[in-house]
Amino acid sequence: MDVLIYLVPMALLLGLTGLAAFMWSLKNGQYDDVQGAALRVLSDDDVRK
The predicted-structure confidence for 2-42, as pLDDT tens digits, reads as follows 999 999 999 999 999 999 999 999 999 888 887 887 787 77
**What type of residue sits at position 18?**
G
Q: In this structure, are residues 12 and 5 in contact, taking their beta carbons and an 8 Å threshold?
A: no
For residue 49, pLDDT beyond 60:
no
Instruction: Write down the pLDDT at residue 43.
Output: 75
Question: Rounded to two decimals, what is the model's pTM?
Answer: 0.64
Say how many CA atoms lie within 13 Å of 10 toward its Cβ.
5
**What type of residue sits at position 2?**
D
Instruction: Write down the pLDDT at residue 46.
Output: 65
Counts of helices then strands in the chain (DSSP H, E): 2, 0
Instruction: Write down the pLDDT at residue 31.
Output: 84
